[in-house]
Chains A and B, each alone.
Chain A
Amino acid sequence: MTIPGAVSGRGQGGSGALLTVVKLVGERQGLRLWGPLGFELMPGRAVHVQGPNGCGKTTLLRTLAGLRRPALGEVRLPVPCWFIGHATPLAEDLGAFANLRLWLDLAGAAAVADAGLHAWLRHWSLPTERPVRQLSAGQRRKLALAPLTLAARPLWLLDEPFDALDQAGCAWLAQAAAAHLAGGGALLLSSHQALPEGFPPCEPWWLGARGARKAAAVAEAA
């Protein structure tokens, strides 16, 4: 296992890693945000990226998902992943069910049955038809996280998943994450808050100008 922050010399793929990052550098408007980063996410590994506002957590997650071209370096993502961003990709005028159905169809998970979606919505007593604009922020967040469990994918990239989520929602996410990791998945999330109780232990990473370091190392230096 490589140490975050250290440049990975190996990781030529084929090692079973769900995500391999080599000498990755993140930039915004010509300014280096972080890096070079090198790491491999092996099955069962969970990472919690932390850092002050504007340190490039979202940029890192978007780069890993393939939405941003890295300024330098390479991201290898040999498995399908879910990237759930800070914004909720929901159509305001459509109901919860239509939104989930369309999202899953778009993402190539059309095999998930309607019954599964209905069951999920019933479980959270979310209205099926009411326009999503009338739902609360927490309810919308739950909807945005729904694909994680409805259609399993080995890698989760979550940007601020606990935002506006109530206690039951956090507990659900913790449980889902534990099952995901136990099932050989990996996850990388960013969050300002401490992880909720019951959430599987995550390696804390501190994202800063000198790359990602273990938060413990930062604390020791301070």
Chain B
Amino acid sequence: MSGEARLGVPAGGVRSPVELIDPARQIDVAAPAWAPTLRAVARREWLTAVRRPGDLLWHAGFFVMVAALFPLSLRPDPATLLLLGPGVLWVAALLAVLLATGRLFHDDLKSGWLDQCVLASAAAGVPLALIVAARMAVQWLLAAGPVLAVAPLVALQFGLNAAALGVLLAGLALGSAVLVALASVAAALAAGLRGAALLTMLMVLPMAAPVLVFGALAVHAAQGGAPAGAELSLLGAMLAAAALVCPVLGALALRSATEA
């Protein structure tokens, strides 16, 4: 259909003279037409999260609690802690990220913001997948940022050395991005359903297993003084694939969610 091409044409022409046009703003309209759209999606997410710092703290707190309770419940022996540390840290981080992402689109669907996103994507010619990708990127900062920030503290408890800590942080940064991408797709599929958070967990956990396996292996390798490049590269490859595929899948899921 030629609809999209025609939609774009009158956009400038039909504005009524009543509309106030600020010259400073007109300049960024001349930039790619969809830049303000994507910026608005990302900014809204960011501002909302900043207004509710408790949620961010809670994600970090969850990570700390899970990871800190393990050493207390195990034999207090450095060898055991070293053995279990990487796995525990990764599981705790994975759960914290999933917890944060489970209800990603719930409020947006209920408030009708998703409708406006779908309409804007049609009107401005922005692929909905890009809008979803912008959401995912901000969600990654919000969900993984606090976890990464407190990870060094928790890693101390398990006696991780500096090299292992570096690999843990790099692995978590890559791996959590994959997890956020997967969880966003699941959240989009479950949007509007009751028990969406639980459904998201169930859908993501099987797919998250490879991330967990390679992430923990990388830390183990670094702890033993072996290079962890291979595992980190695999995590990077997973992220590359997820970054390409997940926004498209998420957009498809959201479109059907708004059709309901």
The docked-state distance in angstroms from the alpha carbon of A67 to that of B260 is 9
Partner-binding segment picked from A34-42, A149-157, A213-221: A149-157
Nearest-Cβ distance from residue A118 to partner chain B, whole angstroms: 11
How far, in angstroms, from A37 to B111 measured CA to CA in the complex? 29
B14 touches A113 (CB 8 A): no
Expressed in whole angstroms, the Cα–Cα distance for A94 and B107 within the complex equals 13
B243 interfacial by beta-carbon distance below 8 Å: no
Binary interface profile of A, 110-152, with partner B (CB < 8 Å = 1, else 0)?
1111111000000000000001000000000000000001111
A10 part of interface (Cβ distance < 8 Å): no
Are the C-beta atoms of A87 and B40 separated by less than 8 Å? no
* Alpha-carbon distance between A66 and B113 when the two chains are bound, in angstroms: 15
In Å, the complex CA distance between A105 and B43 comes to: 10
Interface string of A63-90 (1 = CB under 8 A from B): 0011111000000111110010111111
Contact B21 A111 (CB under 8 A): yes
A102 to B48, CA, bound (A): 12
Residue of B nearest to A117 (CB): B20
* Size bin of chain B's contact surface: 35 or more
In whole angstroms, how far apart are the Cα atoms of A111 and B107 in the complex?
27
Tell whether A151 pairs with B15 under 8 Å between CB atoms, given A77-B7, A105-B37, A108-B33. Answer: yes
Interface residues of B in 75-100 (CB under 8 A from A): none
Q: Is the CB of A111 within 8 A of B29?
A: yes
Question: Contact at A67–B47, with CB atoms within 8 Å?
Answer: no
- Most interface-central of A68, A107, A114 (chain B CB within 10 A): A107
- Which of chain B's residues 118-146 have a Cβ closer than 8 Å to chain A? 118-120, 122-124
The answer to whether B22 and A111 have CB atoms under 8 Å apart is yes
Partner of A88, one of B3, B41, B111: B111
Is the Cβ of A107 less than 8 Å from the Cβ of B48?
Answer: no
Q: Are B44 and A67 in contact (CB under 8 A)?
A: no
Q: Which residue of A lies closest to B16 (CB)?
A: A152
Chain B hits for A98, CB < 8 A: 44, 47
Query: Do residues A152 and B124 form an inter-chain contact, with CB atoms below 8 A?
Result: no
Q: Which of A65, A78, A116 contacts B6 (CB 8 A)?
A: A78
- A166 adjacent to chain B (CB < 8 Å): no
B96, chain A: closest CB distance, angstroms: 21
Does any Cβ of A come within 8 Å of B112's Cβ? yes
A158 to chain B, nearest CB (A): 13
Residues of B contacting A183 in the complex (Cβ-Cβ under 8 angstroms) = 16
**In the assembled complex, A31 has its CB within 8 A of some CB on chain B:** no
Contact of B36 with A89 in the complex, beta carbons under 8 Å: no
Query: Chain B contacts of A168 at CB under 8 A?
Result: none
Query: What is the 8 Å Cβ interface bit string for chain B, positions 19-39, against chain A (1 contact, 0 not)?
Result: 111100110110001101101
Known: A80-B11, A105-B40. A93 touches B22 (CB 8 A): no
User: A102 and B43: CB pair below 8 A?
Assistant: yes
Is the beta-carbon distance between B10 and A79 smaller than 8 angstroms?
A: yes
Instruction: Indicate whether B194 reaches chain A with its CB closer than 8 angstroms.
Output: no
In the complex, what distance in Å separates the CA atom of A153 from the CA atom of B20? 14
Which residues of B have CB within 8 Å of A101?
40
Is B20's CB under 8 angstroms from A115's CB? yes
29 interchain pairs, CB-CB under 8 A: A65-B119, A66-B119, A67-B115, A78-B3, A78-B7, A83-B115, A87-B111, A88-B112, A89-B111, A89-B115, A91-B44, A91-B47, A91-B48, A94-B48, A98-B44, A102-B43, A102-B47, A103-B40, A106-B36, A106-B37, A107-B37, A108-B36, A108-B120, A111-B22, A112-B19, A112-B21, A113-B25, A151-B19, A152-B19
Instruction: Give 5 closest A-B pairs by Cβ, nearest first.
Output: A113-B22, A105-B40, A87-B112, A152-B16, A110-B36
Interface residues of A (CB under 8 A from B): 62, 65-69, 76-80, 83, 85-94, 98, 101-103, 105-108, 110-116, 131, 149-154, 183
